[in-house]
Amino acid sequence: MIQFLVETSWLLPIYGLLGAILSLPWSAGLIRRTGPRPAAYLNIAMTLVALSHGLLVFRGIWNQGSQELLWPWFNFADLHLELALDISVLNLGALEMITGLSLLAQIFALGYLEKDWALARFYSLMGVFEGAMSGLVLSGSLFLSYSLLEMLTLSTYLLVGFWYAQPLVVTAARDAFLTKRIGDVLLLMGVIALAALAGSLNFNDLYEWVKTETLSPLTGTLLGLALIAGPIGKCAQFPLHLWLDEAMEGPNPASILRNSAVVTCGAYVLIRLQPIVVISPTTLAVLIALGGITAVGGSLVAIAQIDLKRTLSYSTSAYLGLVFIAVGAQWPGVALTLLFTHAIAKALMFMSVGAIITTTTSQNLTEMGGLWAKMPATTLAYVVGALGLVGVLPLGCFWGLRMGVDFLSQDTPLLALVFLLVNGLTALNLTRVFRLIFLGQPQPKTRRAPEVPWPMAVPMVSLIIVTLLVPVMMARLSLLPPWRYLNLPMTALMLVFGLAGMAVGATIPLSKSLARTLNRPIRIAQDLLAYDFYTERLYNKTVVAAVGTLSRFSNWFDRYVVDGLVNAVGLASLLGGESLKYSISGQSQLYLLTIMIGVSLLGLFMTWTLW
């Protein structure tokens, strides 16, 4: 029975796609009498089946070891492309996390989008979303991984643009899609180059190839930079980080997955590629540099945001920056621990955010206050998620942050300091947000704020329990390091940074007004962080301006040079024809004389050329 479940584990990514297909009659408007709810129930049922099937395979594979499922797809000369699934404990653990979070997010959406006219379409898109993520973590081939990354990009565009009647939403969906496409195109170049060099795109074959292959430094660097470009876009890392902020215009249930599971999938592909990109020290240095810039910069920018979802989205980019640092420093265990623990805690925080937005119809921090007594379950969800996100013993992210600080402090203390700073700045920001939302006096939009209905409360409370049990699950899976290896000085330093951040966040003065300070230096720093170091304006002045100038020049060249030459040839032919028609006499001997003269001139020209 277990072997049968393992052999049919290729169905695990199909369940989500099957739910999306079964929902088409409702999402396309062919069935109206029942309302859109059956589409939601079908997708929830398919996700539950995927979760149960994956759990059974996980338990069966625990004692048997990993297995690989292969289906030949394309064979020509030295190129062999296969659809490969790697059924291992690690991949199935990632799959269970994705399907579990997807199940809770879909139940949560029953309450959040209860009165939305396009509920069925949303669940169809969520099915595609889930199927692409599930296939991505099980993929044993870079070819299949790239295809599924493209599905994720398309799903992101459709989900961010879900409320397409709003102009700002359309702009956000377009920007998110185009930004991620930049990384996807560069990744495609790397995939094509790797297929030509290695002859196969299966990860196991690539791992064997890279052991013996000797590439030139330039080739290795270009290949490594192309391969990491895709994860940089998917994980919202500098300079392709603006899309995640724009994506917050989409429905909150999709944001739950986007800030937890989707970015995890992008980083998961990077971890699978780490044994390949390690051939280029320059690529590893770029990973560390971009991860450090995003981690510190994202944490600082998050502090200056007044939009509830955006301040947490910048925190997501910051934590993924720590993952990039860990991969660049060749500590994939630290990266995996951070990924899984961050995903669960951040999903819980976005559930609490969704509850707040549903009740107050606002996500502006300056319009909130006094919600702790009115929404106790939401308050508890936010507190547990925040504690699970920072280095608080023994909750989830403590272990990833502790391992990162411990390992990196031995060789590169500066990178360990980045981990400490992100922990402290995140604690400061989450404390600031907690004060603005839950403490203080009620505002007009928070005076009547009842707790959310059960479809939203049940998954939120369930995820609170899961977040608290993460250390227990990690211990059962032997993922926690032995206590005898605990570096007490660095652990204490991490806790000090976290407590210092909480203390600063609890004591700094907070203003409910939108008026900026009159102190010029503070106002400049405030604007610098609030506008993300003016990154978007910088892009408009450089990249966008350059592309616009090139487009205008291309338009001018095409209109006046290319079209001008073509029109000149046409005009010359027209004038020549009109002129020659007057020399036509109708006498055949004149035509024959003309032909003979032309042939003679051609013969003389060829003879002269040969001489």
Ranges of each domain in the chain: 141-513+521-530
Question: What are 331's two structure tokens?
Answer: 């500590």
Q: What is the pLDDT of residue 586?
A: 64
Average the pLDDT over 322-341 and give the result: 91
Q: Which residue has the tokens 């030949």?
A: 72
Lowest mean pLDDT among 14-18, 443-447, 561-565, 570-574: 570-574
Average the pLDDT over 259-286 and give the result: 90
Q: What is the pLDDT of residue 423?
A: 92
Q: List helix spans (H) across 235-330.
A: 242-246, 252-257, 263-277, 281-303, 308-328
What is the pLDDT confidence band of residue 568, given thresholds at 50, 70 and 90? Answer: confident
Helices (H) and strands (E) in the chain, counts: 26, 2
d(CA 54, CA 138): 11
What distances in angstroms separate CA 292 from CA 231, 278, 288, 358, 580, one per listed residue?
15, 18, 6, 35, 75
Give the DSSP per-residue string, 540-586: IIIIIHHHHHHHHHHHHIIIIIIHHHHHHHHHHHHHHHHHHGGG---
Q: Which residue has the tokens 């002859």?
A: 199
Cis-peptide, bond into residue 239, ω within 30° of zero: yes
d(CA 569, CA 385): 71
Lowest mean pLDDT among 33-37, 76-80, 91-95, 232-236: 76-80
202 bridge partner residues: 141
Name the residue with higher pLDDT: 125 or 602. 125
What is the pLDDT confidence band of residue 520, given thresholds at 50, 70 and 90? Answer: confident
User: What residues contact residue 276 under an 8 Å CB cut-off, 6+ apart?
Assistant: 194, 206, 207, 210, 224, 227
Q: What is the pLDDT of residue 128?
A: 92
Please tell me the pTM assigned to this model. Answer: 0.88
Q: What is the pLDDT of residue 352?
A: 93
d(CA 42, CA 50): 12
Q: Which of 347, 173, 317, 167 is nearest to 252 (CA)?
A: 347
Q: What is the pLDDT of residue 133?
A: 92
Q: What is the pLDDT of residue 115?
A: 82
Q: What is the pLDDT of residue 327?
A: 92
**Phi, psi torsion values for 423, nearest 5 degrees:** -60, -45
Lowest mean pLDDT among 11-15, 70-74, 459-463: 70-74
Cβ-count burial of 366 within 10 angstroms (0-12 exposed, 13-18 middle, 19+ buried)? middle
d(CA 236, CA 93): 24
> Are 512 and 369 spatial neighbours (Cβ–Cβ below 8 Å)?
yes
Three-class DSSP category at 364: strand
Give the DSSP per-residue string, 65-83: --EEEEEEEEEETTEEEEE
- Is 512's pLDDT higher than 70? no
Three-class DSSP category at 115: coil
509 sits in which H/E element: none
Question: What are 143's two structure tokens?
Answer: 């070819």
> Are 298 and 274 spatial neighbours (Cβ–Cβ below 8 Å)?
no
pLDDT tens digits, one per residue of 524-558: 877 788 887 888 888 888 888 888 899 898 988 88
Q: What is the pLDDT of residue 188?
A: 92
What distances in angstroms separate CA 568 from CA 49, 151, 553, 556, 560, one per listed residue?
68, 47, 21, 17, 11
For 373-379, the CB contacts below 8 A with 24+ separation are: 374/442, 374/446, 374/449, 374/450, 374/451, 375/449, 375/450, 375/451, 375/452, 376/451, 377/451, 377/452, 377/457, 377/460, 377/461, 378/352, 378/451, 378/452, 378/460, 379/352, 379/438
Mean pLDDT, the chain, integer: 86
Residues across the chain: 611
Name the residue with higher pLDDT: 484 or 454. 454
Average the pLDDT over 206-233 and give the result: 88
d(CA 452, CA 457): 6
Name the residue with higher pLDDT: 587 or 284. 284
Q: What is the pLDDT of residue 212?
A: 84
Cβ-count burial of 565 within 10 angstroms (0-12 exposed, 13-18 middle, 19+ buried)? exposed
What distances in angstroms separate CA 589 from CA 132, 510, 580, 595, 603, one per listed residue?
78, 103, 17, 10, 21
What is the pLDDT confidence band of residue 238, given thresholds at 50, 70 and 90? Answer: confident
- Is 578's pLDDT higher than 70? no
Average the pLDDT over 452-456 and give the result: 89
